[in-house]
Structure 1
């Protein structure tokens, strides 16, 4: 959106027509309220940006089908000339006409007409440039079908519109709805406006509507209507004297529909030859993900410090309109309260069919430091001192996320910073990742997610090249799923939301012929569509990047082997992090039935929670998920189970099934915090899966060379002789604890000795290697620092831990990562299983055993005692 500049934010309110409560649609579901339909259609208006149009910002839905629309607003309008009773010079009239036509032509290119053109809807900014207001009312109300009042003002409506009369779908007296108005309707309204400017007064304001209709339609040849109207109001001589060409121009407008020109045709009229040269054609700035240049229009002063010299400058006015409105809302702004205070909204008497408007607010901020609005992206290069506000906000970062997202000044800083980083994407990709680890501003979450997913290139061209119209077998299932997906949300439940859902899902199915549509794909699509409602191409691109990273091959026609491996690794993660919970779930037979629970739920309803969590919780969860690699969802799943731990431990199989079918309240911030901690304790190779996404070429992890403390993926690491070997699914299922690679063990052992970052709070190593071979084999060579606990000495035949000096040492290492090493994998797996049964956490097995380490030369032999 464009900057606020000298504009204000205005609001107008109206009521959608109510629907009967006892009527259902053809699908058996209740009819979608008209206010929801309007809300869905409104969204596209936020993307219609032109210098001659007032920018739409937001729409809110209140009680009793009330809608409040927020848009760019100016105090001055054409009706001010009428109040002054003065005529306007021909040059000024031509300028206004040209600018109005520019706005109308741009609307027509987007398939819209104004239909509500009037003197008080043609606003003027501080430079006396035209700004058309309420141009989207006809579009958002489905040409007036969703409201009980007519769209437009009778004094300015074209004769053919008045002749149609009013129409409402519930009115049985009409067989069918009239055709929507076309661009020529606005041309007539413009003619009336120009005539009023020349006459210096309102026309036909005292004539009854029916009489006016008769007056116009009985003229026969409408070519002389200018003369008729001018004589009626005694201003013919004034018009002819002032400008003969202007009178001819207005005469062209007042003609029959068939010969009346469109706005585009009028712009080419010779009368504008002296005006058009003063204007440059409007070009919309390039978007973030496109083939066009984005920042070519930006200019920097020769001395960048000049940006911060004028402390009295209103920096907030340079921010986008939607940003200013967002900050106003965070600061406690309430649309309905504002309109009530101005007596625009009144309870007595109820006003249900009028469109009322009022200037909403004039934005103010106490945070107006130039440095805050123009931060240097590289902090170490900044020679400017931090402002007091920045120092005060440093403590805000430590507050809970929900508080940070409601802090006006904090969000201002974060929005500006992310806006600059995204404009420099992908050059500043690393800094986007760095800042996303702190938090992501809700206002620009959609673009931030796209950057984290590595979206680049001309996504719109790719999306448009996909056939989304030809019927395919999947259409039926998509139609069934969409009305059940996040329908509590007003945006996604709107007809426009359903249309976009259908197009994005179908585009994904068509563009991935090797995959199939599985129930639940709509839930994965929902967050991306919500955040990019007006950019289907970006929603599709994000979903197409998300699925192969986190759900690779989940949508194969036969995905049983993929899901079985995924569930087995997940059960090993539960045993690794919470052996007591794992033992209980095994005892009640819950874990063997994971496939039934997750696949029918479906699987990702618990892992990604897209179907059971509300959208705002999904956003917070995925803010962190997108920073993690393909194994991070395992940690999210374990973190969710641990929040349900007490209830799971206290219940049997049936109760646990019911618990997941109706998931209780989950603390998402705690889930995120704990999942990161779980991930940091999990060796990279422990979550290795054969069916994960193959490695990227040349070591690219899908995000360039970006690295965070939990973003690199073991799947993308170059394979060596020390890497973990693939394991048959039956063998993987037979092992309770996960395996780790030899290179992981070596890396962790080295890191644990390098510094305190890899040690526990007590200062002890984070990992301990337990060699379960007999004493003789251990003495021939072992990992430095490992302890020897022979299998036969640790457990009795019943699998109970034997109390002996060796097991006593093992108790001292409870809570560390325990790597079981043996020459035989079967004995190592049995030893690890016994440790899990006695509730030892973080137990894993060295893949390949001691034999993997022998070629490395890292095994040590005890020095002989003299």
Structure 2
């Protein structure tokens, strides 16, 4: 991404052609507006960065199909000019594009006098002119082979008939006309109207020396004769009538014509991308004196940032593109009465409005002022643009600004709209990502604060651990051969987040199709299930111009959070997942769990789309972004907490509703406060023992410390994100039927030892050392009879024999033990017995009585005996 430096932001606009309102496509859906097609095609232009091209930054779709562009705009000799123009043309030709609108006012000069080609993507994004009501190109500069085509508009918008596109050699002719004008110092064909101009160009096919004929026609033969031989040769090559004989831009660049100037140019090399096998520092050139890097000549720190960053900050600072275009008179609004259609009579006579000239191309480019942004950032210190990176840095922004430190405590939606705060976050994350994977730990640390929206796609990829030659792997995957799931993919894509203009564009559909097919083909042991398209949507949206990265993120995300969900027979995986979720509801909200179970409203009826798509089928993309910013910091059990947090937001309505009302409620899910959902999910997660969400069909953890922890809850104990390593004190695999029969979750003996902060003797099988806190964090309830309890029990536990713990009405029998139990209500309570069945029944009784955070010790007291932790009561004196 080139820096801003002395460049300017420029904007221009045009209308796309309107489509009939009462026509549908072959799939029965309304036709995609041409403006959305243009928006989809435009995205690739943002990736075309070259020293000889003005960089496209963004596109916006206004009312009535109005398209607004934002460009990176900059303010010689003939051979140098021609060589640099050809460099730009050759580069866009390599991307299978043709300029077609090449003219003198689209050839700009930057501050150093070098060429920048402007508006080179207009022909491509309008589907070679089919999606607009005006021609692409200027009559005086059109090549002879282009003129006979005229303006070809498809007669039937439902058909895919399109005009035959112009070839790249048409731009070489246009360059020849421009160079001729530059040499003779006058504009060609000024005395002719458009029709005569075109006729004259077509007659040139009958002459051998077009340059001489043009010179005679404009009275400048002597000027042409006095041109250097290499310049004259160049003009004759460019102004070759037949395209087959006319050289391409690449051929001209390698010809002897430019032997005198080509040596002064260094070949352009595309910088290595973040996720690739190329060495990113291969072309790094450091001065001999490193201190020169810190020389401050003009304090233009913002000018060193990329044009994308500057435009993003400009928008945050109050920049309004449409307002700028209206103020310059480019966009003109009319009263509704002035926009009525005209009336056409049978004899052909018409009354009313004539053709609206605003639907034609206005070639004016408006320069956008950066004054408002500069004023907003005038108090930002220079240190903010060069943050120090170190492992011991705090997880708050690193600019040292008191304003920023206070901003970091504000709600996320406010932080994302704060210009100064986003500048600091963007600069920091940009540096961290450039150091990925070396600074991976710091990326995790900063992501727990928040993720700047501009860099969310790259940051997600870093959090998912994407590395290596992802483009090569994606290119090697067959995305073209028909497969059985093609039909289902074609049906699903037009229904996936189609409210979004980018994903609803034909280009978006094509990218959807390729990424999904790549995933299906590269995972032969898995199958395509409905919902995979929704999972793909966030990654594709954030990496629209990098399909390989979207695919790589999907490949990393699914095994982590949806392991084996896409098996051909995934019923056992889904059922286990829903059962654990049901136990999580009982663990965190027993009252809600009791009510939902009583009315028969089980998770199978509403939660499958939640987890199969990780909530992307439930929430719009802007909410998914904030939700996944936190989800990606957690392990596979975090989605359970998100699900419980959603239910708790609907708690009042759910408790007052019956089965039918709950079904209706979830058929059109009410508005969910995502920031509150995330905050409560974190709290729920921290209160959940790590083994309580153990699943037989979950992916085994590969590395420890993957998420570097999260937050400490109010209770004081820290919860690790990783499932515990499998030991003889870990969770045992049980049958699904047994798991379904238990209301409360099980925890492992290892978890119990951690939460009790017990110290295992060094001769035992584990050696866990904990520092005891002043207040106990959980209560162990031993439901064995008193004799067994006195032979050995867990330190700090209380004895409540199961047979005498409850009255006939199901209430707790009054006594010291029940009083202690009541005092621990709200903390973790662990039911321990000889066998899990009795412990599960005891836990179910407590849940019925409204006790939250009740769980069962997996394996019972027998699991604790080998540890040497059991104690006996002191003898009474």
Please, what TM-score do these two structures have when normalized by structure 1? Answer: 0.93
Q: 1:790 to 1:127 in 2, by over 3 A?
A: same
Partner secondary structure for residue 426 of structure 1: coil
Q: 1:392 to 1:309 in 2, by over 3 A?
A: farther
When the two chains are superposed, the root-mean-square deviation of aligned CA atoms in Å is 2.4
Name the residue aligned to 1:849. Answer: 860
Q: Offset at 1:380?
A: 5.0
- How far does the alpha carbon of each residue in 1:420-458 deviate from its partner, in whole angstroms, 9 at most, with x for none? 111111111000000000000000100000000010000
Q: Offset at 1:839?
A: 0.2
Matches within 5 A, 1:581-730: 581-591=592-602, 594-599=603-608, 601=609, 603-604=611-612, 608-696=614-702, 699=703, 703=706, 706-708=708-710, 713-715=721-723, 717-730=724-737
Distance 2:219 2:111 in 1: 33
Partner secondary structure for residue 39 of structure 2: helix
Point out the more displaced range, 611-620 or 355-364: 355-364
Name the residue aligned to 1:186. Answer: 171
Q: 1:647 to 1:350 in 2, by over 3 A?
A: farther
Q: Offset at 1:798?
A: 3.9
Name the residue aligned to 2:390. Answer: 378
Distance 1:350 1:210 in 2: 20
Distance 1:451 1:38 in 2: 31
Distance 2:272 2:708 in 1: 26
Distance 2:202 2:130 in 1: 26
Distance 2:323 2:771 in 1: 52
Q: Offset at 1:588?
A: 0.2
Name the residue aligned to 1:313. Answer: 299
In the alignment, which of 307, 324, 340 is matched to residue 310 of structure 2?
Answer: 324
Name the residue aligned to 1:21. Answer: 21
In the alignment, which of 185, 188, 196 is matched to residue 181 of structure 2?
Answer: 196
**1:223·1:251 contact (CA, 8 Å) conserved in 2?**
no
Partner secondary structure for residue 160 of structure 1: coil
**1:311·1:370 contact (CA, 8 Å) conserved in 2?**
no
Partner secondary structure for residue 339 of structure 1: helix
**1:794·1:806 contact (CA, 8 Å) conserved in 2?**
no
Name the residue aligned to 2:535. Answer: 524
**2:704·2:722 contact (CA, 8 Å) conserved in 1?**
no
Confirm or deny that 1:739 pairs with 2:746: yes
Q: Offset at 1:660?
A: 1.2
Q: 1:428 to 1:5 in 2, by over 3 A?
A: same
Q: Offset at 1:163?
A: 2.0
Name the residue aligned to 1:773. Answer: 784
Distance 2:794 2:820 in 1: 17
In the alignment, which of 194, 218, 230 is matched to residue 245 of structure 1?
Answer: 230
**1:309·1:370 contact (CA, 8 Å) conserved in 2?**
no
Name the residue aligned to 1:61. Answer: 61
Distance 2:258 2:295 in 1: 43
Matches within 5 A, 1:23-62: 23-62=23-62
Name the residue aligned to 1:810. Answer: 821
In the alignment, which of 247, 250, 254 is matched to residue 268 of structure 1?
Answer: 254
Name the residue aligned to 1:87. Answer: none
Q: Offset at 1:342?
A: 1.5
Confirm or deny that 1:5 pairs with 2:11: no
Q: 1:250 to 1:559 in 2, by over 3 A?
A: same
- How far does the alpha carbon of each residue in 1:81-122 deviate from its partner, in whole angstroms, 9 at most, with x for none? xxxxxxxxxx61000000000000011110001000000000
Partner secondary structure for residue 67 of structure 1: strand
Q: 1:501 to 1:793 in 2, by over 3 A?
A: same
Distance 2:567 2:163 in 1: 49
**2:16·2:67 contact (CA, 8 Å) conserved in 1?**
yes
Q: 1:311 to 1:368 in 2, by over 3 A?
A: farther
Structure 1 gaps, min length 5: 76-90
Q: 1:309 to 1:370 in 2, by over 3 A?
A: farther
In the alignment, which of 381, 387, 403 is matched to residue 369 of structure 1?
Answer: 381
Distance 2:156 2:493 in 1: 31
Q: 1:758 to 1:264 in 2, by over 3 A?
A: farther
Q: Offset at 1:209?
A: 2.1
Q: Offset at 1:775?
A: 1.9
Q: 1:752 to 1:861 in 2, by over 3 A?
A: closer
**2:806·2:812 contact (CA, 8 Å) conserved in 1?**
yes
Name the residue aligned to 2:843. Answer: 832
Q: 1:734 to 1:171 in 2, by over 3 A?
A: closer
Q: Offset at 1:714?
A: 4.3
Confirm or deny that 1:209 pairs with 2:194: yes
- How far does the alpha carbon of each residue in 1:769-799 deviate from its partner, in whole angstroms, 9 at most, with x for none? 1112222221211111112222233212442
- How far does the alpha carbon of each residue in 1:334-375 deviate from its partner, in whole angstroms, 9 at most, with x for none? 000011112222225862212332112235231453311111
In the alignment, which of 98, 115, 130 is matched to residue 113 of structure 1?
Answer: 98
Q: Offset at 1:296?
A: 3.0
- How far does the alpha carbon of each residue in 1:554-580 deviate from its partner, in whole angstroms, 9 at most, with x for none? 111111110110010000000000000
Distance 1:683 1:752 in 2: 18
**1:314·1:368 contact (CA, 8 Å) conserved in 2?**
no
Structure 2 gaps, min length 5: 335-355, 712-717, 761-767
Q: 1:300 to 1:767 in 2, by over 3 A?
A: farther
Q: Offset at 1:546?
A: 0.7
In the alignment, which of 291, 296, 301 is matched to residue 277 of structure 2?
Answer: 291
In the alignment, which of 136, 140, 153 is matched to residue 168 of structure 1?
Answer: 153
In the alignment, which of 564, 568, 575 is matched to residue 579 of structure 2?
Answer: 568
**2:610·2:616 contact (CA, 8 Å) conserved in 1?**
no
Distance 1:114 1:643 in 2: 54
Distance 1:220 1:352 in 2: 34
**1:576·1:841 contact (CA, 8 Å) conserved in 2?**
yes
Partner secondary structure for residue 527 of structure 2: coil
- How far does the alpha carbon of each residue in 1:389-413 deviate from its partner, in whole angstroms, 9 at most, with x for none? x122100010000000000010000
Name the residue aligned to 1:70. Answer: 70
Q: 1:38 to 1:177 in 2, by over 3 A?
A: closer
Confirm or deny that 1:550 pairs with 2:561: yes
Partner secondary structure for residue 499 of structure 2: coil
Distance 1:209 1:306 in 2: 57
Confirm or deny that 1:358 pairs with 2:366: yes
Distance 1:843 1:668 in 2: 27
Partner secondary structure for residue 876 of structure 2: coil
**2:831·2:839 contact (CA, 8 Å) conserved in 1?**
yes
- How far does the alpha carbon of each residue in 1:169-194 deviate from its partner, in whole angstroms, 9 at most, with x for none? 2499x996542001110000000110
In the alignment, which of 813, 823, 829 is matched to residue 834 of structure 2?
Answer: 823
Partner secondary structure for residue 101 of structure 2: coil
Q: Offset at 1:300?
A: 5.3
Q: Offset at 1:469?
A: 0.7
Name the residue aligned to 2:439. Answer: 428
Distance 2:288 2:386 in 1: 15
Q: 1:474 to 1:381 in 2, by over 3 A?
A: closer
Q: Offset at 1:42?
A: 0.2
Confirm or deny that 1:233 pairs with 2:218: yes
- How far does the alpha carbon of each residue in 1:48-74 deviate from its partner, in whole angstroms, 9 at most, with x for none? 111101110000000011000101112
**1:463·1:540 contact (CA, 8 Å) conserved in 2?**
yes
Partner secondary structure for residue 351 of structure 1: helix
**2:565·2:612 contact (CA, 8 Å) conserved in 1?**
no
What is the number of equivalent residue pairs in this alignment?
A: 834
